[in-house]
Amino acid sequence: MDQQKMPPAVLRLLVIFPNVLSYLLLGGLIIYVISNYEVLKTTESLKVWLILIAVLAPAAAYTTFSIIKKIRAGHM
């Protein structure tokens, strides 16, 4: 059986769209923490939100880096 290859434009869209969503999530988390800083601090849940941001930011950056690297190499 001969499998059909996915067009590069569709592949880019399927890879880049979730990455854009992760940046939107990161931005929303940052805005949430800034706007609710005092409440999060008094309920002692600020550390959890900051850890979540600290994990999501490098993950989004690394994904962007790997996507750019694959596009430049011609794999996507």
Q: pTM, whole model, 2 decimals?
A: 0.80
| Euclidean distance between CA atoms 58 and 24, whole angstroms | 14
3-state secondary structure of 5: coil
Q: Which tokens in the block code for residue 26?
A: 């990161």
pLDDT at 2 > cutoff 80: no
The DSSP letter of residue 75 is -
Q: Tens of pLDDT along 12-70?
A: 888 899 999 999 999 999 999 999 999 999 999 999 999 999 999 999 999 999 989 98
Domain range list for the chain = 23-73
> What does the block give as tokens for 16?
């880049």
Q: Which residue has the tokens 């940052």?
A: 30
